[in-house]
Structure 1
Amino acid sequence: MRVLYLTEEAISFSDALVRGGAIHVRNVVTGLRDRGHDVFLLDWNTEPERPFQRSVSPRSRFVEGPLRTVVRAVQVGKRESVDVIVSKTRKTYLPGLIAARRLGVPHVVHVGSSLDPPTDGLSRRLDLASFTARLRAPHDGYFVVCDHIGSQLRTRGVAADRIFNVQNAVNIDRFHPETVPTPLSDRFRDRIDQDGGGFRLGFVGGLQPYKGLDDLATALDQADADLHLLVAGDGPERSRLERTYGAAATFLGSVPYEQIPALYHEFDALVLPSHTEGLPRVVLEAQATATPVVATRVGGVPEVVRDGQTGLLCEARDPAGLAAALDRLAADDAERARLGREGRAAVEGEFSWTELYERYERFLEQVIALDDRR
């Protein structure tokens, strides 16, 4: 296949990446190329690094960036005789569709976010409206990361035969229960060593209201176990949350992605108390390191955390239920070990990058075949 892959992110093939979306793009592009496909990447980048990287460098992310993407996508698509265009990020959804129609090839959008995010505030409501409008356009395929998002698309009128669950993936060699590829730097190591002990919970992610960290703070107060939270991530809620948690949590700030595998080895359990999610990569990363997971039953989480088998689930916005699950883990070493083993086994069998490449390859071939029959 000859694939043109669009993203508004700048993709580096030599430097460490932090954002999960950028890591996904880089891995999919290189993975499909390694499998013998001609994949060309059109990203928004001032310093492209590879011959197959056909970047644009817009001065504005609004209007000008999408317009330049359309023009460049048509140019590259014609020159390289591409079979399909895949748009990974929202600002490339419509440019990718327009270019695909000009070229007479099918267009696929990758949907990694839930369609029911928090809508408090005008800006969030406008963002959701824009996202939904872009998805209503007549795309030929929708690559989703979980069945939950697929179901949301079907309720919005997208035909079932256009929806393909590619899932998410994790590097099961870097995230491993027995090895640490890159140790934590001294500044993180020193902060962790000063956390005061107790059962060590970990949270990895952006500090946003929908992540449910206020619920977790209440749960820590209600729990019987001696719990301490390590928070890896940053965001607009950090200062307020530091005041809320006080001595009950250590806020590490943003941890470089290459050190994240080592961080999971510091946790007795990962906790994800979110109000909404797609298919969170942090859950897969924790499971790959055999770190037991406690999470809320939202989005695609139940598709990777089977309650009592590969982790523990509780309802969102339920601090009492969350506290009970945390107490259960803290009190039972054998249960933690079992959940960790089962989580690792589940990830190895279904969520490796090799499995994702095979799904991508198979589903792209189906989209192209469907387009040929229409």
Structure 2
Amino acid sequence: MVRGGQIHVRNVVSGLRARGHDVRLIDWNDEPERSFQRSLSPHFRFGFDPTRTLVRAISVGRQMDADAIISKTRKTYLAGLGAAAALDISHVVHVGSSPTAAGGSISDCLLDKSFEARLRAPHDAYFVVCQAIGDELEALGIDPNRVFDVKNAVDTDRFHPDGPPDPLSSSDMKRLPDDDDLRLGYVGGLHEYKGLDDLADALDRVHSDSHLIVAGDGPDRERLERKFGSTATFLGAIPYEQIPAFYHEIDVLVLPSHTEGLPRVVLEAQATGTPVVATRVGGVPEVVEDGQTGLLCDAHDPDCLAAAIDRLATDGAERSRLAEVGREAVATSFTWDSLYGRYERFLRTICD
């Protein structure tokens, strides 16, 4: 449970259980990692595993006299819907990403259509992480009264300006640049839709001295390493426990994505007191107010990214101001406790 969606599930289930609710997790995992998991060892995720999930959900739901089923990923939307129908209880789908894929290939179009078909199934409610996704669901013909914005959350004690609980490994520390250049950071997968090609082009256009440090891995890594050359250091995937330390080692987080839901990395950076430069996509403008809690650029705009980097490189006071205001905004509205409260309130509305 180290990826963003998995962390969300773990924390929501643990948090609601701590508040006295009986919550079980049915997941695809070789071995359960928590007492609340009812894991299924994955075999074939198209058709076979969702069917097994359906059967397991009905069994667990009957044992615990469940009031609702929440399906977290699109692969389980129909399985969860079938189980809820069999149990005669409410079914909620969690939508954490845009229903529209970033690419324009035939496979992307097929994925779009499959996702849309699953979303249009007769679910009782939709939990979204930002209003932007809610608007997309409404455009697909889904009743906005069935859409609930649960938002995302961040551990504002673990991600804190006062310091990380776990330092970066000594090997990673040795790879960090030791000069006075502005340290830019990126955290996430290395995929085309993340916009790193735009960031590479932007670094070719900046006038200030800067260096990018990348924490993450993915299919585009080798190609991106060649494209960035000496302007970036790729650390690969680092343990989640060390991510707070990563934010403390950089001066600015840059997220140049072409599509997003409500990216947790932005919340984490803001909670740590690290200023953010991000693209104006998905729910990002709902947590980054341009010029107030960070800087925003249009997607596919290397010139704007370069200008934002130069602006922060030459103005330390601006970096400090954005860091302070960003931390305050996240600590007010995006804590886990506030998210648990939204879950409780919305589920009561749905199940009543």
TM range (shorter): over 0.9
- Amino acid in structure 2 at the alignment position of 1:316: A
Partner Cα distance (2:42, 2:232) in 1? 41
Q: Deviations over 1:212-257 (max 9, x none)?
A: 1111111111111111100111111111111111111111111111
Alignment match of 1:334 (pick from 317, 324, 342): 317
Contact 2:101 2:111 in 1 (8 A): no
Are 1:153 and 2:125 an aligned pair?
no
Partner Cα distance (1:211, 1:49) in 2? 30
Partner of 2:90: 106
Distance apart, 1:58 and its partner CA: 3.7
Alignment match of 2:50 (pick from 66, 69, 79): 66
Q: Deviations over 1:44-93 (max 9, x none)?
A: 12312444322222421111101111111111111211000000011110
Cα distance, 1:326–1:193 mapped onto 2, change above 3 Å: closer
Contact 1:203 1:229 in 2 (8 A): yes
- Amino acid in structure 1 at the alignment position of 2:130: C
Distance apart, 1:269 and its partner CA: 0.4
Alignment match of 1:317 (pick from 296, 300, 320): 300
Partner Cα distance (2:247, 2:142) in 1? 38
C-alpha root-mean-square deviation of aligned residues, in Å? 1.1
Partner of 1:236: 219
Partner Cα distance (2:245, 2:11) in 1? 21
Partner of 1:298: 281
Alignment match of 2:61 (pick from 52, 74, 77): 77
Cα distance, 1:67–1:216 mapped onto 2, change above 3 Å: same
**Structure 1 residue runs of 4 or more that deviate by more than 6 Å after TM superposition:** none
Are 1:348 and 2:331 an aligned pair?
yes
Are 1:119 and 2:119 an aligned pair?
no
How many residues are matched? 352
Partner of 2:15: 31
Distance apart, 1:122 and its partner CA: 2.4
Contact 2:54 2:80 in 1 (8 A): yes
Are 1:90 and 2:74 an aligned pair?
yes
Partner Cα distance (1:268, 1:56) in 2? 42
Contact 1:46 1:55 in 2 (8 A): yes
Contact 2:103 2:193 in 1 (8 A): no
What does residue range 205-284 of structure 1 map to in structure 2 within 5 Å? 205-284=188-267
Partner Cα distance (2:163, 2:318) in 1? 22
Q: Deviations over 1:264-285 (max 9, x none)?
A: 0011100011111110000000
Q: Deviations over 1:316-359 (max 9, x none)?
A: 11111111111111111111000000000011000011111111
Tell me the SS of whatever aligns to 1:40. coil
- Amino acid in structure 2 at the alignment position of 1:190: K
Are 1:139 and 2:123 an aligned pair?
yes
- Which one is further off, 44-53 or 204-213? 44-53
Contact 1:200 1:230 in 2 (8 A): yes
Gaps spanning 5+ residues in structure 1: where? 1-16, 370-374
Partner Cα distance (2:313, 2:212) in 1? 13
Tell me the SS of whatever aligns to 2:82. helix
Are 1:56 and 2:40 an aligned pair?
yes
- Which one is further off, 243-252 or 143-152? 243-252
Q: Deviations over 1:9-59 (max 9, x none)?
A: xxxxxxxx3201111111000100000101111111231244432222242
Distance apart, 1:123 and its partner CA: 2.2
Partner of 2:152: 168
Tell me the SS of whatever aligns to 1:38. coil
Distance apart, 1:307 and its partner CA: 0.4
Partner Cα distance (1:121, 1:79) in 2? 44
Tell me the SS of whatever aligns to 1:39. coil
- Amino acid in structure 1 at the alignment position of 2:342: R
Partner Cα distance (2:69, 2:318) in 1? 46
TM-score by length of structure 1 reads 0.92
Partner Cα distance (2:40, 2:311) in 1? 52
Aligned sequence identity (%): 64
Partner of 1:183: 167
TM-score by length of structure 2 reads 0.98
Contact 2:280 2:296 in 1 (8 A): yes
Gaps spanning 5+ residues in structure 2: where? none
Q: Deviations over 1:125-145 (max 9, x none)?
A: 222221111111010010000
Distance apart, 1:111 and its partner CA: 0.2
Distance apart, 1:197 and its partner CA: 4.0
Cα distance, 1:321–1:50 mapped onto 2, change above 3 Å: closer
Tell me the SS of whatever aligns to 1:320. helix
Partner of 1:6: none
Contact 2:294 2:326 in 1 (8 A): yes
Partner of 1:44: 28
